[in-house]
Structure 1
Amino acid sequence: AAFRVIACGSASDEDGAFTRESSADAFSSFSAVPSPMAPAPPMAAALAPRPEPVPAPAALSIEPKFTVTSSEGVAGRTGSPGPQPIGGGTAFDFNDNEVATQSNSGSPQAQHVSQRRIIIRTVNMQLVVTDIAASLDHISKLAKRFEGWVVSSDRSLTHRGAIAIRVPSDQLDDVILLLRGMAEEVESEISTSEDVTDEYVDIQSRLTNQQATESALLRLLDRAETVEEALNVQRELSKVQQEIERMEGRIKFLEETSAFSLVSVQLKLAPSEMPVDAGEDQTVSPRIPARFRATFTPAAGIDEFNFTWDFGDGSEPVFSNRTAPTIEGDKRVTATITHFYSDVKNSPYIVEIEMDGFGETGVTEGSDILIVTVTDIPTVEVFAGEGFVIDQGEEAEFSGSFTRPEGLTNVNYKWDFGDGTAPETGLIPEGSTRVVTAHVYEDFRPFAYQAVLTITADSEVGEVEVASPLTVVVTEKPAWTVAGWDAGDTGRTAVRTLSAVGAGLATAAIWAGIFSPVWIIALGLVYVGRGRLKVRFAKSGRLATEESED
């Protein structure tokens, strides 16, 4: 015979009849026919109870009827008691007939029930406090005061901390107000709500069905006649019980998280003030580098620093962490930062530096500003004069001029005559635009001297320096002259001629020395040739004599 197991919807049912058959949705079938190895009990079919009709499970409405149990007391409903909370706290009961009737009646109580939702609230806060350790201890005590608990706590850094607590949902707003009051500053506060009513109702409905299935399997296990039947029923029972435990755990989680809200608090130590000096106001020119360096005095125990320069012209701020100590005690300076301003259109600019430091004693920060005025460099034009020719030993007069725009102060000049003598310098009187001086060139040389006039002045954008050169040709001074004949000039010419002749002879001697081996070989060849000719001529003479005698 084949059987199908049907779970009744009521837990009060007495042992009923069960049928079992093989199908995709049914439990693993087992045979009621006696095994060949074990003879079946006599009259097994006659002794088996007759199946009784199994009532169909009542339709379960998903409209919830709630029974709320909390630390303050119980707000319940009349009627038969429903399922109790899994883990204590708030329980949500579902009564099919009553809820359906109340929903259809439109009574105030039914409207209140339909509006009751299961909401999980979560709050994340970032607070600035003056003492991390004291704040963590205060928040922990605050959770216990509201009958909550601490979920986690972290104080791995001296200037930061974190803590998470759970407090009753109906008192969450009061806890948030107290947390705000203990902080120097609330940097952020984020509150989220999640409605899990539908999930809770669904799990409760499936749990009820699984519990009914468990009861049916337990009764079937008691009636198993063979070991195989018992094992098959036990296997299915284990699956159902595991599913029940999973549902009960999820229900417990939803009940606790909805009854007790999670509050996560990030704590940041309020920084102390650090004196920062950005430096004096500056006046610079476009495309000329402006340099910035700040001085600051950190507190004891602060040894790591970050700083940011904002140049006020819309360019990207510059970040760095490079600093250096000074000889002035505890003072330190930042690395020098260079910036170029493109034009004078939006001048002046407000330049700001922001610094923060941290270390064993906490966090510190400071800032300062300076004003940068961007203006064009004054144009100064200098003219040293035209080049000239002068005899050596004579006094040469130099007269240079320059333009003098407004805003120039401390105008100085420098004449460098190019002959190795010390330059002539001086301060130019107010309103004057000309520099006149004299110089004597004592020595002649075949190429021209280069004299340079340099004008320097101070302006609001810095020092201005402009130079202008001129050439001076110095000729030799004439010697004593008689009737157009210059003895000195003639002597110099003779010396130069003799020098040229001597140089030629020396050159010839050098070349002769270089080619001396060649000359020696050539002379040797000539000498040998001449010897051979003499011998030949001597032989010819003897032959001729002998013939004449004959």
Structure 2
Amino acid sequence: MMRDMKPVTLLVLLLSGVAIGLVACGSKSFDSDEAFATAGAESSAFGPPGAPAPAPAAAAAAPAPPRALAPSAMPAPAAASKQSAGGTFGFGESEDSTSAGSNVSGVQLASQRRIIIRTVDMTLIVPDVIATLEDVSALAKRFEGWVVSSDRTLTHRGFISIRVPSDDLDAAIIELRDMAEKVESEISTSQDVTDEYVDLQSRLVNQQATEGALLKLLDRAETVEAALSVQRELTRVQEEIERIQGRVKFLEETSAFSLLNVRLELSPMDMEVDAGVDKTVSIRENVRLRATFEPPEGIEDFSFTWDFGDGSETYRSSRTAPTADEGTRVTATVNHQYYDVKDSPFIVEIEMTGSGDAGLVEGDDTLIVEVTELPVIQVFAGESMVSEQGDEVEFSGSFTRPEGLTDVTYKWDFGDGSSPDTGTVPEGITRVDVVHVYQDFRPFAFQPTLTISAVAEAGDIEAESALSVLITERPSWTVSGWDAGDSGRTAVRALSVVGIGLQAAGIWAAIFSPVWIVILVAAILVRRSMRGRRSTRNVVEPSDE
């Protein structure tokens, strides 16, 4: 009956039987810790070079697949059999050795067989980036690791990534710390891939068993069609085996060799920065801050930060400019106001950094800003007054003089466009007397102003006060009620009106001159015509007689 069946039908039945058998074997092979050890024994990627072969009992636990991995096909990391980050790997142990340790709890066994991938990221401040890159590369070789990648395009910054055996990771980190002047950051992460590894081993055994069965079917194929069908399935299974083997190898290497990513930054050179002299200001007065600094040659890009010490937001900028002094630069001027004297004095700090072909530089400086309340000066310029044109007007102003004022000065501005009267007020004097003559009068009052200026510890003080002065016109000379001045002014005004009228008439005559000319010509023509007619009459009358 078997001979009567078609080859394709026979092939399908055989494949179904193999698949059912593999599922049963797979579910049975990895239900215990011994199966996990057996799977590790079949993979030559675990265990250092030169390690003893697995025990016969482990090899007999499962049939060897036709394409079992040979030791040369997958070199094992040297540190795979050492103590890893999660414990000791036992992939080369036999079933007997596992049963010999039956007194160990299941939790301890699981802990010993964890596959942990560790990654460490470090940022180091070093005196020489190029030399440190070479030292890190030598460190990797000394620990039997290798350099994954490196970047040394900048003189003040670099990067290198290395792999070292997991057992030597802590020792490598200690050596890296010793290379640095400062460890800016250090971040360590761990990833447990044990579940994925066990699943991959199970799938690998099943796929290899499927591969062996397909190879046998390929040998028994009686037709080309059957052979091609088996070959296609065999190719797919072999590709899956290679993919699983690659992933297994990756997990083995990354767990056996930890990754160290090291970022290197050049330790900055010192730069002299001068924030300026200490200041004393009043509340809400603008404080102007500007720093000078001397950058080394080869430093071109700068940035600075002002911290005003009062809890307000810091000010950051990169605006700088050269000065007349060669090699000296200044920062942009910053204005700030303080609104309370409670926490005075304030410590103001500037921090500067620079970079360029020469590397990195940094510097800082501080100054003290003391905030005080300004004393108040009250000024009284005097009462309003009325005076005649040309008379001397006496001004007498007074003011209060709090303690601590220096350089007290005054300024009388008389409001008529003349030069103000200024001077210094002696110590202990609180009154300023001046005399002024108004040469002209006007219908509204002048506004003379007294301004007092002084210097206090918290800053400059200024206060002012004004008054009104009405200047009237001075009466002119009069005789018996007749005011010569008034009469003269009246006459002048009348003549001015007549002159203005004549001027306007002349302007209008000039404007209408063409009309006047036409009228004049027409009048002359009419007059001549009338004369001609009269002459004709006179000639006719004598002839009639």
Q: State the TM-score bracket (shorter-chain normalisation).
A: 0.7 to 0.9
1:81-101 Cα shifts (integer Å, max 9, x gaps): 4876632123764889658x8
Distance of aligned partners of 1:310 and 1:111 in 2 relative to their CA distance in 1, 3 Å threshold? closer
8 Å contact 1:102–1:110 — kept in the other structure? no
Q: Show the 5 A alignment for 1:89-108.
A: 89=77, 90=80, 93=91, 98=96, 102=99, 106-108=102-104
CA root-mean-square deviation? 4.1
Instruction: State the distance in 2 between where 1:406 and 1:23 align.
Output: 114
Name the TM-score, length of structure 1 as normaliser: 0.78
Distance, in Å, in 1 between the alignment partners of 2:384 and 2:22 is 131
What secondary structure sits across from 1:398 in the alignment?
strand
Q: Deviation at 1:513?
A: 6.0
Q: Which deviates the most, 455-464 or 148-157?
A: 455-464
Give the whole-Å Cα distance in 1 for the aligned partners of 2:24 and 2:92: 19
Deviation at 1:142, TM superposition (A): 0.5
State the SS of the aligned residue for 2:429.
Answer: coil
| DSSP-derived class of the 2:47 partner | strand
* 1:183 equivalent among 159, 180, 184: 180
**Is the contact made by 1:60 and 1:96 (CA closer than 8 Å) also made in structure 2?**
no
User: Structure 1: where are the runs of 5+ without partners?
Assistant: 6-18, 29-52, 534-550
State the partner residue of 2:65.
none
Q: Which piece of structure 1 moves more, 506-515 or 295-304?
A: 506-515
How far apart are 1:207 and its partner, in Å? 1.2
Structure 1 residue aligned with 2:115:
118
Question: Do the aligned partners of 2:323 and 2:329 also contact (CA within 8 Å) in 1?
Answer: yes
Question: Deviation of residue 70 (structure 1)?
Answer: 2.4
Q: Per the alignment, in what secondary structure is the counterpart of residue 158 of structure 2?
A: strand
CA deviation after TM superposition for structure 1 residue 269, in Å: 1.0
The amino acid of 1:20's aligned partner reads: L
User: What runs of 5+ residues in structure 2 fail to find an aligned partner?
Assistant: 61-68, 82-89, 531-545
Contact 1:397 1:436 in 2 (8 A): yes
Structure in which a larger fraction of residues adopt helix: 2
Distance 1:4 1:56 in 2: 25
2:47 to 69, 84, 90: 69
1:164 aligns with 2:161: yes
Aligned counterpart in structure 1 of residue 329 of structure 2, from 318, 329, 332: 332
1:369, distance to aligned residue in structure 2 (A): 1.9
CA contact (8 A) 1:27 1:236 kept: no
Deviation string, structure 1 residues 298-329 (Cα, Å, up to 9, x no partner) = 11111100111122233322211110001112
Asked if the contact 1:410/1:458 (under 8 Å) is kept, the reply is: yes
State the alpha-carbon separation in 2 of the partners of residues 510 and 519 from structure 1: 14
Question: Within 5 A, what are the aligned runs for 1:429-468?
Answer: 429-442=426-439, 449-468=446-465
For residues 16 and 408 of structure 2, what CA distance do their matches in structure 1 show?
107
2:75 aligned with 1:87? yes
SS in 2 for 1:70: coil
SS at match of 1:69: coil
| C-alpha contact 2:55 2:94 (8 A) present in aligned 1 | no
Q: Which moved more, 1:470-479 or 1:265-274?
A: 470-479
1:382 matched to 2:379? The reply is yes
Contact 1:20 1:26 in 2 (8 A): no
Worse overlay, 517-526 or 321-330: 517-526
Indicate the SS of the match to 2:218: helix
The 8 Å contact of residues 119 and 258 in structure 2, kept in 1 or not, is answered as yes
Q: Distance in 2 between matches of 1:146 and 1:228?
A: 56
Contact 1:413 1:454 in 2 (8 A): yes
**More displaced stretch, 411-420 vs 187-196:** 411-420
Change (3 A) 1:54 1:146: closer
Identity of aligned residues (%): 57
Matched AA of 1:242: E
Q: Distance in 2 between matches of 1:351 and 1:61?
A: 70
**1:292 matched residue in structure 2:** 289
Secondary structure (helix, strand or coil) at the match of 2:120 reads: strand
Contact in 2 for aligned 1:358/1:364 (Cα 8 Å): yes
Question: What CA distance in whole angstroms lies between the structure 1 residues aligned with 2:496 and 2:91?
Answer: 133
2:29 paired residue among 37, 41, 60 = 60
Which digits, 9 at most, give the CA deviation of each residue in 1:510-548, with x for residues without a partner?
566667778889999999999999xxxxxxxxxxxxxxx
CA distance in 2: counterparts of 1:237 and 1:261, whole angstroms: 36
Q: Which amino acid aligns with 1:464?
A: I
Instruction: Point out the more displaced range, 136-145 or 399-408.
Output: 399-408
Q: Is the 2:7–2:226 Cα contact (8 Å) retained in structure 1?
A: no
Name the CA shift for 1:81/1:22 in 2 (closer, same or farther; >3 Å).
closer
> Match of 1:365, as an amino acid?
E
Count of residues in correspondence between the two structures: 507
Supply the distance in 2 between the matched residues of 1:331 and 1:281 (Cα, whole angstroms): 21
- 1:129 maps to what in 2? 126
Aligned to 1:265: 262
